[in-house]
Amino acid sequence: MATFVDRVVLHATGGDGGHGCASIHREKFKPLAGPDGGNGGNGGSVILEVDPQVTTLLEFHHLPHRRAASGTQGMGDHRQGATGPDLVLGVPDGTVVKGPDGEVLADLVGVGARYVAAAGGRGGLGNAALSSPRRKAPGFALLGEPGETQDVVLELKTIADVALVGYPSAGKSSLVAAISAARPKIADYPFTTLVPNLGVVQAGSSRYTVADVPGLIPGASQGRGLGLEFLRHIERCAVIVHVLDCATLEPDRDPVSDLDVIEAELASYAGDLGIEGGRVPLTERPRVVVLNKIDVPEARDLADLVRPELEARGLPVFEVSTASHEGLRPLTFALAERVERARRESPPPEATRVVLRPKAVDDSGFTVTRRTGGGAVWFAVRGEKPERWVRQTDFANDEAVGYLADRLARLGVEEKLFAAGAVAGDEVRIGPDTNAVVFDWEPTLSTGAELLGGPRGTDVRLEDRSRPTRGEKRHEYKERMDAKAAARDELWTERQHGVWTDPERDD
**pLDDT (tens digit per residue) in 188-233:** 544 555 567 777 888 888 888 888 877 665 554 555 555 555 677 7
The verdict on 170 and 277 lying in the same domain is yes
503 is in an annotated binding site: no
Picking from 130, 154, 178, the residue at the C-terminal end of a domain is 154
Position 473 scores a pLDDT of: 81
The verdict on 150 and 164 lying in the same domain is no
On whether residue 87 sits in a domain, the answer given is yes
The verdict on 108 and 213 lying in the same domain is no
Average pLDDT, the chain: 80
Q: Is the pLDDT at 166 greater than 90, yes or no? A: no
191 is in an annotated binding site: yes
478 is in an annotated binding site: no
Position 331 scores a pLDDT of: 87
Four-residue CA torsion sign, 98, 102, 105, 106 = positive
**Region 304-313 average pLDDT:** 87
Report pLDDT digits (tens) over 310-339.
888 888 888 888 888 888 888 889 888 888
On whether residue 270 sits in a domain, the answer given is yes
Amino acid identity, residue 217?
I
d(CA 140, CA 93): 48
305 is in an annotated binding site: no
Identify which of 90-99, 116-125, 434-443, 486-495 has the greatest average pLDDT. 116-125
473 is in an annotated binding site: no
- Is the separation of the CB atoms in 78 and 24 below 8 Å? no
Q: What is the CA radius of gyration of the chain?
A: 39
Report pLDDT digits (tens) over 56-73.
888 898 899 999 999 999
**Region 350-367 average pLDDT:** 72
296: left (phi over 0), alpha (psi -120 to 50) or beta: beta
493 is in an annotated binding site: no
Report pLDDT digits (tens) over 228-255.
556 777 777 888 888 888 887 777 778 8
The verdict on 108 and 32 lying in the same domain is yes
193 is in an annotated binding site: yes
Helices of type H across 142-208: 172-179
d(CA 447, CA 450): 9
On whether residue 360 sits in a domain, the answer given is no
42 is in an annotated binding site: no
Q: Is the pTM of this model over 0.85?
A: no
Q: Is the pLDDT at 129 greater than 60, yes or no? A: yes
16 is in an annotated binding site: no
Q: Is the pLDDT at 155 greater than 90, yes or no? A: no
Higher pLDDT, 103 or 228: 103
Q: Is the pLDDT at 467 greater than 70, yes or no? A: no
Q: Is the pLDDT at 180 greater than 90, yes or no? A: no
Position 401 scores a pLDDT of: 87
Give 151's DSSP letter: E
Task: Give the chain's domain count.
Answer: 3
On whether residue 464 sits in a domain, the answer given is no
Task: Please provide the size of the chain in residues.
Answer: 507
469 is in an annotated binding site: no
159 is in an annotated binding site: no
The verdict on 141 and 229 lying in the same domain is no
77 is in an annotated binding site: no
168 is in an annotated binding site: yes
Position 121 scores a pLDDT of: 93
Q: Is the pLDDT at 344 greater than 70, yes or no? A: yes
385 is in an annotated binding site: no
Q: Which domain holds residue 434?
A: 365-452
On whether residue 119 sits in a domain, the answer given is yes
Give 348's DSSP letter: P
The verdict on 315 and 175 lying in the same domain is yes
pLDDT-based confidence at 372, cuts 50/70/90?
A: confident
**Region 171-178 average pLDDT:** 82
The verdict on 324 and 207 lying in the same domain is yes
72 is in an annotated binding site: no
The verdict on 329 and 182 lying in the same domain is yes
Position 83 scores a pLDDT of: 94
On whether residue 466 sits in a domain, the answer given is no
Helices of type H across 131-249: 172-179, 227-230
- Is the separation of the CB atoms in 23 and 34 below 8 Å? no
115 is in an annotated binding site: no
- Is the separation of the CB atoms in 277 and 292 below 8 Å? no
d(CA 401, CA 394): 7
172 is in an annotated binding site: yes
CATH number at residue 20: 2.70.210.12
The verdict on 166 and 149 lying in the same domain is no
Higher pLDDT, 466 or 25: 25
CATH number at residue 168: 3.40.50.300
The verdict on 175 and 319 lying in the same domain is yes
**What is the side-by-side strand order in the sheet with 206-212?**
197-203, 206-212, 162-165, 239-245, 287-292, 317-319
The verdict on 241 and 193 lying in the same domain is yes
On whether residue 115 sits in a domain, the answer given is yes
- Is the separation of the CB atoms in 143 and 159 below 8 Å? no
Q: Is the pLDDT at 437 greater than 90, yes or no? A: no
Position 2 scores a pLDDT of: 46
Picking from 308, 343, 378, the residue at the C-terminal end of a domain is 343
Helix axes 172-179, 328-345, angle to 10 degrees: 90
Picking from 139, 154, 169, the residue at the C-terminal end of a domain is 154
192 is in an annotated binding site: yes
182 is in an annotated binding site: no
pLDDT-based confidence at 392, cuts 50/70/90?
A: very high
The verdict on 320 and 182 lying in the same domain is yes
- Is the separation of the CB atoms in 438 and 429 below 8 Å? yes
Give one DSSP letter per residue of 122-133, joined into a string: PPPPPHHHH--S
On whether residue 502 sits in a domain, the answer given is no
d(CA 152, CA 102): 9
324 is in an annotated binding site: no
Q: Is the pLDDT at 132 greater than 90, yes or no? A: no
